[in-house]
Amino acid sequence: WFSRKVRAAGAIVLCETTVTELARDASGKVIGVHTDRAGGIRADVVILAEGVNGLLGTRAGFRKVPKPEAVALAVKEMHFLPEEVIAERFGLTGDQGCVIEAAGTISRGMAGLGFLYTNKESISLGIGCLVSHFAASLESPYALLDAFKDHPSIRPLIVGSEIKEYAAHLIPEGGFKAIPQLFGDGWVVVGDAAQLNNAVHREGSNLAMTSGRIAGEAIATIKSRKRPMTRDNLSLYKAMLDKSFVVEDLRKYKDMPALLHTNSRNFFMTYPRLLSQAAQNFVRVDGTPKIEKERATKAAFIKARSRWGLVSDAVRLALAWR
């Protein structure tokens, strides 16, 4: 769909071509790219949209390798089932889809979530946790995924499916504070390569598309003014991006990554367990007077986190969320 749009706008889409290096002139200005095809491609400006690993930008010294606490590793499987079976299992009609997110023992205390979403003839099932937490815990991503698939709430949803695809991919999770330099002489960087990912809302595609569009608009404006693609002129891209929802949202949650990284056990294990117990206490009909249930729920929260811990967690979460 995108390729058709791009071609319709008059651009050339060059597939099966790897950019091996940025081409630069004697002053260091980016003037195009070298590829694994013969000859390079000259350009007024290069838009780096190379994804989270950002090898070209890193090699060129435009950004550092993302820190392990600023990237999550997600593993995912695609479970194929007939469309009507998916619709029946998830109670879907027409164009409806279903998303299930799982927090709790599934991530073994690491900052991360399990996820399931329905596509037309497949179900995407996966789990992602911070790389720094995988490194510290020595947990295996696939062991977590296997446990997720075996969970009594998930197993019946995928029974009889055929796994035809699987993937492992990094997700930028460092937020506002992890955004690298976004422009320079002859280059700008967009999307995951610029770490533009809103981990709180699990949005990345829309931030990638919007930053790409804004980069295009900034470059078109500079061209229309017949100005060169210098660092100074390309700062327009950052100025425009700063005014968009992309940076506004990331700025809003700028303290969340550090909070979740350093308190993952509480937020991804203790609280989901306590809330789950509280919900069970609330709905279970077992002849226990409600006042006793409420006392038990309150006592469980205080035992797990102490009064001071509960207040402190609430304040820190509220401050990071605002």
Q: Is 51 in the site for ligand FAD (CB under 6 A)?
A: yes
Cα 186 to chain centroid distance, Å, stands at 28
Find the binder of ligand FAD among 208, 247, 250, 260 (CB under 6 A).
Answer: 208
Considering only residues 219-238, where is the footprint of ligand FAD by CB under 6 A?
none
Is beta strand 122-130 parallel, antiparallel or unpaired with respect to 71-80?
antiparallel
Retrieve residue 23's tokens: 């081409």
Is 171 an interacting residue with respect to ligand FAD (CB under 6 A)?
Answer: yes
For residues 129 and 274, which CB has a smaller minimum distance to ligand FAD in the complex?
Answer: 129
Q: How many CB atoms lie within 10 A of CB 240?
A: 18
CB of 295 to ligand FAD, least distance (A): 40
Residue 306 burial (CB count, 10 A):
11
Residue given tokens 């990912």 in the structure block? 197
Which one of 1-9, 158-166, 187-195, 243-251 is the stretch in contact with ligand FAD (CB under 6 A)? 187-195
Residue 81 engages ligand FAD in binding (rule: CB under 6 A):
no
Contact indicator for 180, 70 with CB cutoff of 8 Å: no
Q: Is 19 in the site for ligand FAD (CB under 6 A)?
A: yes
Among 23, 56, 106, 199, binds ligand FAD (CB under 6 A): 56
Instruction: Supply the DSSP string of 121-178, one letter for each residue.
Output: SEEEEEEEEEHHHHHHH---HHHHHHHHHTSTTTHHHHTT-EEEEEEEEEEE--GGGG
Distances (CA, A) of 58 to 55, 62, 135, 138, 306: 5, 6, 22, 27, 45
198 by DSSP, 3-state: which? strand
Q: Which of 171/275 has CB closer to ligand FAD?
A: 171
**Six-digit token string for 166:** 């699987």
Smallest separation (angstroms) from ligand FAD to the CB of 90:
17
Taking the least distance from each CB to ligand FAD, the nearer of 19 and 157 is 19
Tell which one of 77, 185, 192, 249 touches ligand FAD (CB under 6 A): 192
Is 180 a binder of ligand FAD (CB under 6 A)?
no
Query: From edge to edge, which strands make up the β-sheet containing 162-172?
Result: 99-102, 112-118, 122-130, 71-80, 162-172
Residue 202 interacts with ligand FAD (CB under 6 A): yes or no: yes
The residue from 206, 230, 244, 281 that contacts ligand FAD (CB under 6 A) is 206
74 is an interface residue for ligand FAD by CB under 6 A: yes
Task: Determine the length of the chain.
Answer: 322
- Residue whose CB is less far from ligand FAD, 199 or 236: 199
Give the residues lining the site for ligand FAD (CB under 6 A).
18-19, 49-51, 56, 74, 76, 126, 169, 171, 191-193, 197, 202-206, 208
